[in-house]
Amino acid sequence: MDILDRVAKETNSTRSWIITSAIESYVMDRKWMLGKDEDVVGGAIVILYETGHMEAEASIDRVQHEYLDQIRATMHVHLTRDLCLEVIAIKGKLRDIKELAQKIEGKKGILAVKYNIHPLSE
């Protein structure tokens, strides 16, 4: 039984409903990217990654140094010996936050990236 079937059984849902819900969640998670480059956004980026993956750790560290004006705070948590969680609180122009996000995603060792980012009116 694959993970989709296990989740369906555990949540008493259909595979179709879970897939639809996953797509909707993905789109909602990234709809902030559709604004204008000059729009100001704020929120948090949450990263789950494997400890010891140099590419993951280096990219997260590099981003934090490259985007000092956009990063308001960070929190690093050791979840297990092999997993870390990084929470990055951000505020800045959409163009810069998109660049920051692109430099984090897709790196080896990064297991998940979640966004909670919203437009801000100034």
Do the Cβ atoms of 72 and 96 come closer than 8 Å?
no
At 40-89, the pLDDT tens digits run 999 999 999 998 888 888 888 988 999 999 999 999 999 999 999 999 99
Q: Are strands 110-120 and 71-78 parallel, antiparallel or unpaired?
A: unpaired
At 88-106, the pLDDT tens digits run 999 999 999 999 998 888 8
Q: What is the mean pLDDT of the chain?
A: 90
* 3-state SS, one letter per residue, for 41-94: EEEEEEEEEECCCHHHHHHHHHHHHHCCCCEEEEEEEECCCCEEEEEEEEEEEH
At 1-36, the pLDDT tens digits run 588 888 888 889 898 998 998 898 888 878 888 888
**All residues at 6 or more sequence positions from 81 whose CB lies less than 8 Å from its CB, including other chains:** 51
